[in-house]
Amino acid sequence: MTDNNTNNTGNGGGGNAGLAFIVGGIVVVLAIVAYFVFARGGMAPESKDINVDVNLPEVSAPAVPTVN
């Protein structure tokens, strides 16, 4: 007579190690992104004083010659 014991005690946690590694990697990446967003002042560009002059001199078309 054989005893078919299907209660696996202590052997069910092996598949979660890969998942824990992936989740840990995601947490590290999010921590790095949060550092650059919050600790460095966010993604706001630096304010710069830009002065652009768009006043161009008036240009007239050349006179068209007349044909007789």
pLDDT by residue for the chain (68 residues), tens digit each?
566 656 556 555 567 888 999 999 999 999 998 888 787 665 566 778 888 888 888 888 888 888 87
Instruction: Please tell me the predicted confidence (pLDDT) of residue 25.
Output: 95
pLDDT of residue 14: 63
DSSP letter for each residue of 24-62 = HHHHHHHHHHHIIIIITTTTPPPP--------PPP--PP
pTM of the model: 0.41
pLDDT of residue 8: 55
Picking from 41, 19, 44, 13, the residue whose alpha carbon sits closest to that of residue 27 is 19
